[in-house]
Amino acid sequence: MQAPRDEATWPLRGVLAPNLTPFGDDGHIVEALYIEHAERLIEEGCVGLVPFGTTGEAASVGLDERIRLLERLVESGIPASRLLPGTGLTSLPDTVRLTRHATALGCAGVLVLPPFYYKAVSDDALFAYFARLIDEVDDSALRVVLYHIPQVAGVGLSIPLVRRLHEAFPETVAGIKDSSGDWANTSALLAIEGLAVYPGTELLLPRALAAGSPGCITATANVNAPALNQLVRLVRENLEASRDAFESVRRVRLAVQEHPSIPALKALLARRTGEARWRNVRPPLETLVESQEAALAEYVLQT
């Protein structure tokens, strides 16, 4: 088991929510709903938010929209120190721009995908991308959390590459979100001394916490935050009740995974809040069909 990164240098220990992005019927972001949902997630116990992650439809949100929304979150009273916005894009200048903005705003760090358009690039090439990002941002406050989601991005981050980046930039490359869903990969990452490793699913959370992980970054926090945060507490306190708590969150996770996750989570949030605009997604995503939504809501919202 690795020695976890010290809480003073990496304080986001618990459940982080990659918060959903609401769109109006005209396709524009509904800022009031965005802020309301973010505040609710913090109230429900999430230690932080990950704006513009995969679940937030980041690939469909423009640069100016991201900058505006991040500023609105901070203006609303959510501490920047609890924000870990996604800033990784295929264009290095765009990634630098978003990363500089988030760092200057005081965010805890940034979640950075590898450049994902060009496939079959070498570890040396990916190292050069991250090294150039760090050099061009040129800010000692910068903290990078790498984002490994090869099944979506098509480009992954190998264990040797992650180790190399962390050793080259031990203070800056602070952590990684591992959304591979592969415990062997997460376990190998957890063996890297001082690296904060977040599994991207609560299905690995109890094992990850026991191995030194600070928590997890999970899409289902958008609809199940209280139960997830209770699970973290019970596991940390080594209570027998953690088994039942884990089974409860596991059932929700598996039910959501039966559907396209973003439309499914948005449909559940629409049902829970009574706000129909939560169902809206930006093309090319499609909303969940009514029959699927009804069955999922009956199972999850009454679980």
Residues serving a catalytic function are 54, 117, 147, 177
Report yes or no: 226 and 234 within 8 Å, Cβ to Cβ. Answer: no
Residue 263 sits at φ, ψ, to 5 deg, of -60, -35
**Among candidate residues 25, 51, 60, 62, the one with its CA nearest the CA of residue 222:** 51
Distance, CA of 106 to CA of 150 (rounded, Å): 29
Q: Are 234 and 242 in contact (CB under 8 A)?
A: yes
At a CB cut-off of 8 Å and minimum separation 6, what does 257 contact? none
**DSSP characters for 54-76?**
TTTTGGGS-HHHHHHHHHHHHHT
